Structure 1
């Protein structure tokens, strides 16, 4: 069976540090923080009162009233980010065959804001329960994939993926696999989340997963740092257009990078905690590298999942040490969550965009707020801090690991 090469031809984002690819990239390189006090609801009774919210973004500036009424924020974010990616890719029907165009979209949480509001409104009412006919599609995790197909007229493969914080990377790997097998010409893929709600922040807060550095929000998310105390939840979306190389060349598309391989694994260890030695993370990276046909030492950059939690960052660092061995100091590593916060199921999408841009521009983004490496981490770990690193690289890997022991790693290559 012929396997096709797969490339990235479109990028789109909506993030706490920038509402477009260009502003996002600028924010990453400048070390801009997206964190601040929560404005969506009264968080005064919470241990954690900070989040990475979108800035200067109004859905009504991008979407019509009907769409706004029928969708949750996480779908609205998907529509906006996907529109940028589609414009970047220049994919237009009817020049393309709609049955050969697909959508694979991710979310780890779905329409939680709409669900919470609907339940609370009915609980506070003395009338008999009265629910909106839109509450089900607002909440379903596969709503963005369906809405995106409707918006762009894509009739091919269409589904949603959910694997906690590995959801978006899982979507990208699934798209890569479909295209590699020749089952589609192009697939719009990515992920979106809108989890800054009373119950979701409260739930993570109760787990003690969130940073409580409320007086210094901009310094709260600090992956790999000795003073890290939890992650800062974020919202937004990332979108990528993946395409068969032959199809992209035929239409003279701009190519950002190539998808070389993907790996997925399970820790089979704990409902929320990572396997302490990083064995699941190591396995997903090994599988991705094997599929790409490269050795670990050929990597030039690793975009780490590192969320700023004590256990998660340490487990990933151990996995990197096991993967690279004596070459650990030769491969640059950073986590962009120091700037963006943790976008949960959408994290892998915006980080795939960041990794793509790093390859394209030969510029590796820094790890926000990394001041002192935690003493339990391997001292040879070459972490990029404070300033971007300018380095010509051929291969990079982007990691995403989620609650439940879900692991996904994506290898990208420059052309």
Structure 2
């Protein structure tokens, strides 16, 4: 018999706040974490706004600054969210076989040392033509090997394993916007099949830097509504013009159900279903028929042993891009059929921006809190109806509603699609 997997701890650091309760309160109130970019001078970029994490450092979770000074910004976020989740779960105080405790992350790239790279390029071009030998020589002189190692996407998972003595499976996936949902889904499968009893799973990312913003601006994927930052992210609205880049981390503790019950853990909910598919289409475009997303949603519902009529809420990928929102709406209609207009679908990216690799797990936690508190977070900035997006998007104001089962959609660049089905635990 397949083992059941539940969530017993949560932790979040993102533009809406420094812990799960602060984030959840802001979402229910319909607040926005979007503002003018301050992490670098974005005045010369088409997009001058973002959703940054403000006024946070590792001392807020009891870690010394010097220990993490050379680690990536995203790693420091992950340390904070993971310590919250582990403390929240209480598993850190129980007897765990360390070889049965693993980590699965959806983590992005690490440090971006633009100043050192600029000095290396200046040295290489000082005589006019590019001189590779001078570039390398300047790099050997200036680069810090500890910082260079932190560029590897697996570093947050490695640091978390060492921090919590997690000697079991240790993995990282980087499937763009689907990464942390995939990490949680795969971590669930590891416990289901008996290869671990506890998994710390989640994601972390920070792309609010010149390289990240340049790339997304070249793809014309980001909003350029710089004059009204809090209005820029407007999923499903007719005037939507791109997503807002955010940053942060979210982590969950996953446990085998019987072990969690035995130690008296607080259970947020069950990861009941997991669906993962590929569009096999274009890396930056969604197929107009939405077949990948449709398959992922159906797979998650089936994996949970449910029917589409059993779903009471969908936390949408809902990026605020023209094509994504239109196709995701179509996917929901295909999956839910005649009930599609009765299923509330909201996008919390309207408030916190798109956290890229960390987005999926953040929204998974939102689903769990919606189930727990019987409250659906709104899609803010929904002001101009779009005939192509005509579902119930919980516009602008949170809503009380009983939710037994919720879906969380994460559809990433490259065509990776992940849907997770969350169940209320009775």
Give the TM-score taking structure 2 as reference length: 0.94
Kindly state the Cα deviation for residue 93 of structure 1 after the two structures are TM-superposed. 5.8
Residue matched to 2:155: 143
CA distance in 2, matches of 1:44, 1:263: 41
Check whether the contact 2:380–2:397 (CA below 8 A) recurs between aligned residues.
no
CA distance in 2, matches of 1:275, 1:268: 9
CA distance in 2, matches of 1:277, 1:117: 44
Residue-by-residue CA offset, 1:200-259 (whole Å, 9 max, x unaligned): 111111111110110100000010011100000000001000110011011110000011
CA distance in 2, matches of 1:95, 1:189: 19
Residue matched to 1:91: 91
Check whether the contact 1:17–1:55 (CA below 8 A) recurs between aligned residues.
no
Paired residue secondary structure (2:176): coil
Paired residue secondary structure (1:105): strand
Larger radius of gyration: 2
CA distance in 2, matches of 1:287, 1:117: 46
Aligned counterparts, 1:31-46, within 5 A: 31-46=30-45
CA distance in 2, matches of 1:307, 1:347: 10
Match of 1:187 among 199, 216, 235: 199
Residue-by-residue CA offset, 1:272-314 (whole Å, 9 max, x unaligned): 1111121110010011111101011110000000100001111
CA distance in 2, matches of 1:124, 1:249: 60
Aligned counterparts, 1:108-257, within 5 A: 109-111=108-110, 113-124=111-122, 128-129=138-139, 130=141, 131-257=143-269
Residue matched to 2:3: 4
Match of 1:386 among 396, 414, 423: 396
Paired residue secondary structure (2:177): coil
Distance of aligned partners of 1:275 and 1:54 in 2 relative to their CA distance in 1, 3 Å threshold: same
Match of 2:282 among 239, 263, 270: 270
Match of 2:405 among 395, 401, 409: 395
1:406 aligns with 2:405: no
Residue matched to 1:64: 64
Aligned counterparts, 1:355-366, within 5 A: 355-366=367-378
- Structure 1 outlier segments of 4+, above 3 Å: 59-63, 115-118, 124-127
Check whether the contact 1:271–1:405 (CA below 8 A) recurs between aligned residues.
yes
CA distance in 1, matches of 2:168, 2:232: 42
Count of equivalent residues: 410
CA distance in 1, matches of 2:94, 2:67: 24
Gaps of 5+ in 1: none
Gaps of 5+ in 2: 127-136
